[in-house]
Chain A
Amino acid sequence: MSIDKETAAKVAKLARIRVEDDALPALAEEFNNILGFIEQLSEVDVEGVEPMTSVTPMRLKRREDRVTEGGMPEKVLSNAPDAREGFFAVPKVVE
């Protein structure tokens, strides 16, 4: 399995990271190196093995479904690059 320039561009798009066209061939090559290394996993016999979901055999704790904290919009917004009137502000998303 080899990654070409088009696949690299598609992955960058999915990851929402801008990669300029001239950087794509080098990126594809890096992916191929890493995937070549990962490819060793295909040697392992995993027939009948369950994929791990939790490394410690513990049932996640349940809790009552109620509000535990909240009512602090200033704190929530305090690090926002652009916040207005109690909201996060972003570029226009609908025409």
Chain B
Amino acid sequence: MTDLNKLTIAAARDALRKGEVTSAELTEACLGAVEGAGALNAFVHDTSDLARDQAKAADERIKGGDAPAMCGIPLGIKDLFCTKGVVSQAASGILEGFKPEYESTVTQNLFDAGAVMLGKLNMDEFAMGSSNETSVYGNAVNPWKAGGQELTPGGSSGGSASAVAADLCLAATGTDTGGSIRQPAAFTGITGIKPTYGRCSRWGIVAFASSLDQAGPMTKDVRDAAIMLEAMCGHDPKDSTSADIPVPDFEAMLTGDIKGKVIGIPQEYRMDGMPEEIEKLWADGTAMLKDAGAEIRDISLPHTKYALPAYYVIAPAEASSNLARYDGVRYGHRAKLEQGDGISEMYEKTRAEGFGHEVQRRVMVGTYVLSAGFYDAYYNRARKVRTLIKRDFEQVFDQGIDAILTPATPSPAFGLGEMAEADPVQMYLNDVFTVTVNLAGLPGISVPAGLDKQGLPLGLQLIGRPWEEGDLLNTAYALEQAAGFVAKPEKWW
């Protein structure tokens, strides 16, 4: 077999079980691809020794005959996941050199299933960003190019998206607070699912906005997303918001049959100034689902417009609270102090040196909206609007809608540095189609569905009912089959 790094999880699993390939061979192929892809800056911490040990153990287990689907599969892990004894920095200077003494539940679940960790992946600092340009490690780069220009892989899971799209690993973990799995997946032509809030344990994932954060897989196709998601989820007593409900066999639910399913098309997602190509992709996707036997219905989600402003109150508020722990005392960076400096100077200097600009800005915005006199006007009002956004979805689901189809992003991948001079709100607009899903706690998946005129991938998003990831994945599978997206970036790195 050649190009083992290009395999899907499903193909690799089948080949491993038949004894046609070993995990050691898969792992070497991926490590070789990673080594040759420095220009993408996707992998930022090397764990090749650990990977080789894990692959060896996986091969033993596969020989034993009862290995789970993820056994022996080489993955990249987003730097937001705490991995025992391996540097975990959330792409921030303030966690310089931090080596957790514990393993996040999601990575532990994957390792228990026999998965192999190739290394840690680049991301926006503390998952705050939509372009992977706020990382202490520097920009991750999209393997897709347009007219010779280097493009963003999206963010915050930019390294994950770049690594999967460039076949440096078979799949990667991501996390999604406002769109951080789905937007980079769309920008790089891969699949990414954010499950229902509570499906994946948040324990050991560096916290950004705890009421919105969810982990999920970023994969080469929908089947792989089903396989890997199942391995990541499950109840965890260490996360009080983790759902104690059974995890179904998601892959077994991929029949491709969506006859009689009702797909909602929300009118509020038709934005002014939306590029024609996105509009057309959305119409094409609608037609594909209709051809596959689904009923298409126009729906209204009237509070959509207020999702982004509500998010930019709630997420910074939670971040300002979560990031209060970075004080230079227990881990990471501490500023050098001058004679006479006390503990306040230590906090202030440490946080000024350790946090990047975007993180500082969001922490301070969060501090402001939570401060005396503004708490009601901003934070409480945003939480009320969040209730209304969730109610919009509940009402359409009550009317019999099974899934909602929208564009994943308002544009294809843009150039690195292109937004440097724009005001921060312009960057925030990247999440306009994805952020509602986090606010309502719903599952959402981004599926590559076409190319724009420059040859860059575009994604469609499907939003499902809570806890019905299996049904959502099946609709995504039907869309994937109809769209037939097979394009890959031309190798330049």
A contact residues vs B (CB 8 Å cutoff): 3, 11-19, 27, 30-31, 33-35, 37-44, 46, 49-56, 58, 60-61, 63, 72, 75-76, 78-82, 88, 90-93
Q: Is the CB of B328 within 8 A of A81?
A: yes
Contact partner of B348 (CB less than 8 A), chosen from A17, A79, A90, is A17
Most buried by A among B313, B345, B364, B365: B364
Dominant secondary structure of chain B at its interface with chain A: helix
Q: Is the CB of B352 within 8 A of A81?
A: no
**Pairs across A and B, CB under 8 Å, 27 listed:** A11-B371, A14-B367, A15-B360, A16-B327, A16-B347, A17-B348, A17-B355, A17-B364, A18-B351, A30-B361, A33-B425, A34-B424, A35-B365, A51-B383, A51-B387, A52-B390, A55-B211, A55-B440, A55-B441, A56-B466, A58-B243, A79-B98, A82-B334, A90-B343, A90-B346, A91-B341, A92-B342
Is B196 located at the chain interface by the 8 A CB criterion? yes
Is B368 located at the chain interface by the 8 A CB criterion? yes
Complex Cα distance, B344 from A49, in Å, reads 40
B contact residues vs A (CB 8 Å cutoff): 97-101, 196-198, 211, 237, 240-241, 243-244, 303, 305-306, 308-310, 312-313, 320, 324, 327-334, 337, 341-349, 351-352, 355, 360-361, 363-365, 367-369, 371, 377-378, 380-388, 390, 423-425, 428, 439-441, 466
Q: Is the CB of A81 within 8 A of B333?
A: yes
Q: Is the CB of B346 within 8 A of A56?
A: no
Which residues of A sit under 8 angstroms from B380, Cβ to Cβ? 51
Complex Cα distance, B368 from A13, in Å, reads 11
Q: Is the CB of A17 within 8 A of B363?
A: yes
Which residues of A sit under 8 angstroms from B303, Cβ to Cβ? 44
What's the least CB distance linking A12 to chain B, in Å? 6
What's the least CB distance linking B95 to chain A, in Å? 9
Complex Cα distance, B457 from A95, in Å, reads 62
Q: Is the CB of B367 within 8 A of A50?
A: no
In the complex, residue of chain B having the shortest beta-carbon distance to the beta carbon of A93: B343
Contact partner of A33 (CB less than 8 A), chosen from B360, B386, B424, is B424
In the complex, residue of chain B having the shortest beta-carbon distance to the beta carbon of A88: B329
Q: Is the CB of B196 within 8 A of A56?
A: yes
Q: Is the CB of A18 within 8 A of B349?
A: yes
Complex Cα distance, B101 from A76, in Å, reads 8
What's the least CB distance linking B443 to chain A, in Å? 12
What's the least CB distance linking A69 to chain B, in Å? 10
A17 in contact with B352 given A34-B424, A37-B312 (CB within 8 Å):
yes
A56 in contact with B383 given A38-B309, A81-B328 (CB within 8 Å):
no
